[in-house]
Structure 1
Amino acid sequence: MNDFASEAMLRLVRTGLKRQGLATDGPPPVRQAHVPLADKRAWLHRLWQAHGPDVIVRLGEAVHRMDDEPLLLALSLARDPADLLQRWQRLERFVHSRHRMRVDQPEPGWLRIRHVSLDPHLPPTPAEDLLVFGFLVAMCERLETPGVRARPEALTGWSRSQRAWRSHAWPDDVSAWELRWQTASVNPVADVPPADPDGWIAHLQARLAADPGRSWTVQSLALAAASSPRTLQRRLALRDLTFTQLLSDARLISAARLLAVSPMPTAEVGYVCGFADQAHFTRQFKHHTAMTPGLYRNAFALRAGV
């Protein structure tokens, strides 16, 4: 991936190596310039050869020391591991990654995940598998998810439990994993009519703006608003609003704010704010502002002090 996501992963690897007291030599640190994919894979292969798989899978624990990484902050808004994997899958689609996560959820608190390639002739390497799974497991723990356990499906015992990796011989296939965690009980939501319709709309807007990258649905917003989906849609219609319009406005406003006040790359802004891909972001933003995201930033970022 020659994109902001792969650049964030490179920074993760460097921080993870430093955390383990190891040298961080490899592709140069990047923020805007891209590092060729072959160089990234060669570096990861050298790390595997020099230090073994245990070091690779532990690199993900660096997420607990990277609070200034916008991509991690966006992923950290996930409600649980299942939501986290949905956000990761959207990231893969957004950046047109050649690697994808195939996820199956047999029941609440249980995911079965396979790391695959869109090109069957170029599958992920074991080092890439362990790097990504180690990162995702660490992100689950960053969410304060209780009882996180993970293992390759080829193993019988848990490789990760109680926030620690167990030392063992890794199987040849580390592309398929099982992830478990403790689920919280959900209380039924009472359908309470709003005392202040304008305040109720503002509450909905605030909930959407707090996490614009979430895969919002009418059902999930209704739950957040202590309402049923049908009642929410009816109340919005009384204000000449729709769920789609409300969500689109929240994402566009959030994007405009980030473009004006942050140095975050334009593509990353699009992902964080919930757009399907960069082309979708540019098209929607220009439709509503008559400016591309780049032109908007050039016009307004300076006055914001960026």
Structure 2
Amino acid sequence: MQDFASAAMVRLLVRAMRAQGLDPPPPGLDGLQGSHVPLAYKRSVVEAVLHQGGLGTLLQLAQRVDLLAGDPVHRALLGASSLPELMARWQRLERYVHSRHQVSITASAPGTLALHHHARPGVLEKPLPTESLAVLGVLMGASQAIGVRGLQVDLGTSEAASQRVSLRIGVPATPAELPAQLAPMAAEGQMGHWTLRWEVHTDEGKAPIAPAVEPQPATHLCDALPWPPLAHQLARHVLHDPAAQHTVDALAEHAGLARRSLQRALTEGGLSCRHIVTEARARLAAQWLLDSPHGLAEIGFACGFADQPHFTREFSRHVGLTPARYRQAFARSSAPRDGSLQIR
């Protein structure tokens, strides 16, 4: 649990505690942009939330994803245009960081997802109820941020219907009611079973709502390359949301061309969809490496690379240096040199 996703979760909880008037444990984390946080400190933050507010407060604080604005993870998740796409991005994040736990989709239908937060195969330690609740809070907050309407969450399995707790975005339970409802579920091991329901609209998945994050998408980064207009159009599309799945079919649809027509047009200019996508992602990653203190893994995930080796390999092929060596060689003196700001 010392990956960048855990560090982002800790930053969120600490900032949310302060916004709520609660006292996070030292050291103070405002402004921390590191990639790692010790498990002991993560647990101390959760314990502080429970001591000062309880399980209901933990769920509410975890929904404050707006407090992560500017983090690469925030941009990557909130680039989703629908709840199913958000879940796909969350699952990619879990795979990227080799998380011990994962959220699996156990059933799906239009406007409904049944989810289970559980240990990965081969991992003996199940998620703590507080870990499941924090993940659920982030998914609820992110769903609201991307414009999911009418979201309702039922906690617990269908077999334990009498103990299920229903939550609705924008209609919170009273401060005394929610902890009383959640405590028995935590004791019974039901906290990791969720059923999400929301309003489905005909435009769902068509037009993503751009989150208010800084820096804004740097869609100009490939403009200086001697590419034909079609390639620049595709590059700007990729740079607007690098974490999306930019397949050949998806790019062809964006360009309004048949798949073969797109490939033929790019081949005539000595290009391919893969080359354009990777070049755009590598250039954006280079900007993050020079202009932000975020860790290498966090930047690689946010820029759409499948995992850390993929990021290192493709960045080196397009830039000529590994991400770490590139940062060491060119980052401003005020930026971190190894991408490893850590709480020790």
Shared fold (TM-score, shorter chain, > 0.5): yes
* 172, 177, 183: which one aligns with 1:165: 172
For 1:239, the equivalent position in structure 2 comes to 269
Counterpart CA distance in 2 for 1:56 and 1:272 is 26
Percent identical across equivalent pairs? 34
Aligned length: 298
* 122, 134, 145: which one aligns with 1:142: 145
For 1:175, the equivalent position in structure 2 comes to 192
Moved more, 136-145 or 62-71: 62-71
Q: Could you tell me whether the CA contact under 8 Å between 1:2 and 1:36 is conserved in 2? A: yes
Structure 1 residue 85: Cα displacement: 1.4
For 2:325, the equivalent position in structure 1 comes to 295
Q: 2:212 matched to 1:209?
A: no
Instruction: Give the AA of the match of 2:280.
Output: A
Residues 108-149 of structure 1, C-alpha deviations (whole Å, 9 max, x = no match) = 332221111125521001111111101111001011222222
- Given the two structures, how large is their TM-score scaled by the length of structure 1? 0.86
SS at match of 1:302: coil
Instruction: Give the AA of the match of 1:164.
Output: V
CA pair 93-26 structure 1, distance change in 2 beyond 3 A: farther
CA pair 184-23 structure 1, distance change in 2 beyond 3 A: same
SS at match of 1:73: helix
For 1:194, the equivalent position in structure 2 comes to none
Counterpart CA distance in 1 for 2:148 and 2:41 is 35
Counterpart CA distance in 2 for 1:15 and 1:27 is 12
Q: What residue ranges of structure 2 are gaps of 5+ in the alignment?
A: 207-226, 337-344
CA pair 183-304 structure 1, distance change in 2 beyond 3 A: farther
Q: 2:10 matched to 1:25?
A: no
* 34, 37, 48: which one aligns with 1:35: 37
Moved more, 55-64 or 130-139: 55-64
Q: How does 1:61-140 map to 2 (within 5 A)?
A: 61-104=63-106, 106-118=108-120, 119-140=122-143
Counterpart CA distance in 2 for 1:304 and 1:33 is 17
Structure 1 residue 183: Cα displacement: 2.7
Q: 2:5 matched to 1:2?
A: no
Counterpart CA distance in 2 for 1:185 and 1:234 is 33
Counterpart CA distance in 1 for 2:28 and 2:95 is 26
Structure 1 residue 254: Cα displacement: 1.4
Cα RMSD for the two superposed structures: 2.8
Residues 243-273 of structure 1, C-alpha deviations (whole Å, 9 max, x = no match) = 2222111211211222222222222111111
Counterpart CA distance in 2 for 1:263 and 1:136 is 25
Residues 90-111 of structure 1, C-alpha deviations (whole Å, 9 max, x = no match) = 1111111111111245223322
Structure 1 residue 204: Cα displacement: 1.0
Counterpart CA distance in 2 for 1:63 and 1:253 is 26
Q: Could you tell me whether the CA contact under 8 Å between 2:150 and 2:168 is conserved in 1? A: yes
Q: Could you tell me whether the CA contact under 8 Å between 2:106 and 2:114 is conserved in 1? A: yes
Q: Could you tell me whether the CA contact under 8 Å between 2:34 and 2:293 is conserved in 1? A: no
For 1:192, the equivalent position in structure 2 comes to none
Counterpart CA distance in 2 for 1:253 and 1:186 is 31
Moved more, 2-11 or 57-66: 57-66
Q: What residue ranges of structure 1 are gaps of 5+ in the alignment?
A: 190-196
